[in-house]
Amino acid sequence: MSEAYIVDAVRTPVGRRNGSLAGVHSADLGAHVLSALMDRTGIDPAAVEDVVFGCLDQLGSQSGDIARTSWLAAGLPESVPGVTIDRQCGSSQQAVHFAAQATMSGLSGLVVAGGVQNMSQIPLTAAALVGPQFGMPDPYSGSRGWRKRYGDQTVSQFHAAELMARHWDLSREEMEEFALNSHQRAAHAVDSGWFEREIAPYVDGETALAVDEGPRRDTSLASMARLKTLDPAGRITAATASQISDGAAALLIASEQAVQDHGLIPRARIHRMTVLGDDPIMMLSAPIPATRKALEDAGLTEGDIDAVEINEAFASVVLAWQREIDIAPERVNPVGGAIALGHPLGATGARLMTTLLHHLERTGGRYGLQTMCEGGGQANVTILERL
């Protein structure tokens, strides 16, 4: 089987909720990274065989196959198709997996993978929120099979985050210390210029953004302690959850033959791809068994991994994962995570991979591992090998 290579990866800065990117149409956010990717690689856009994008809440500006719309909004060839997928928060990581599988199988040579989300315009779970007008209060009510298996248990990421905190006995204080560290690491990365190479600044008319808006330099444990918990009897607060954000990211995935045919210089090889399911009520725990499976299938140990990007949907997710996976904390989210940098749902998987690739290059690491929790109790894991 052929290899799948990452030729390049680029992202927008991540805009905070109602921030600099809030008024940008989702297709234009996607178009921005697609144009930047074509410019950076110098590839003939007509040679791209498909565009696979992740996006949640596909309605309004994100409806109508945003992958295809973004490509066309970028002024790129009409001959290139696009498809939009939804594996919840892992959507654009799964987009990379689908792109890699296409190139490894020999069916495609060049595929663009990425994702986009404008959460300022389309609120979190907006697709479910329109259900009541059609007599569907949520995605599960009315399903005999679901009720028979799971009853009327609460299905919510916020509830799941609390379940994780209780199951692994994570205190509010421990999670707040983790959140503070995320902001500090992200601010240090920004100040050190570590994100500059991976970011394509967004400049269009009055909109201009070159750096991530999320990191809070003035946050403190004292200010976090004053926040109310999301559940009156719980431990999770807004400070220990990912930020609502806007952004996009894209990668060019190439087969061995395409690398030769187009004279490309790949930056990394996709070493292993894994996806696994777990309890949909606990929901956020799947990265733990998925990471174990990915390492075993790849013939690697925890000690072989030089850097990890695990999405900080909530502090409890990462801390529980760290309790179970023996990788040094300094190697986990070394430049901060979604608590500080934000979580534009459909774009986050591609954003994490872009950041992971650049971090491995900057530090000289060989193997990087990316994973994230996903709705429905799922997790993707991708292991990269820097070339």
Q: What are the tens digits of pLDDT across the range 247-260? A: 999 999 999 999 99
Distance, CA of 272 to CA of 62 (rounded, Å): 30
128 pLDDT band, cuts 50/70/90, is confident
pLDDT of residue 37: 98
Say whether pLDDT at 129 is over 90.
Answer: no
Distance, CA of 199 to CA of 214 (rounded, Å): 15
Four-residue CA torsion sign, 114, 120, 124, 128: negative
pLDDT of residue 1: 67
Residues known to be catalytic: 89, 343, 373
Residues 200-212, mean pLDDT to the nearest whole number: 95
Distance, CA of 367 to CA of 369 (rounded, Å): 7
Question: Residue 37 has which token pair?
Answer: 């990717």
Domain ranges in the chain are 4-125+243-262
Please give the sequence-ordered ranges of beta strands (E in DSSP) within the chain, or none if there are none: 4-11, 15-16, 50-54, 82-85, 110-118, 202-204, 207-209, 245-255, 268-277, 307-310, 367-374, 378-386
CATH 3.40.47.10 fits 4-125+243-262, yes or no: yes
pLDDT of residue 206: 86
Say whether pLDDT at 150 is over 70.
Answer: yes
pLDDT in tens, 77-119: 999 999 999 999 999 999 999 999 999 999 999 999 999 999 9
User: What mean pLDDT is reported for the chain?
Assistant: 97
pLDDT in tens, 16-46: 999 999 999 999 999 999 999 999 999 999 9
Residues 263-292, mean pLDDT to the nearest whole number: 98
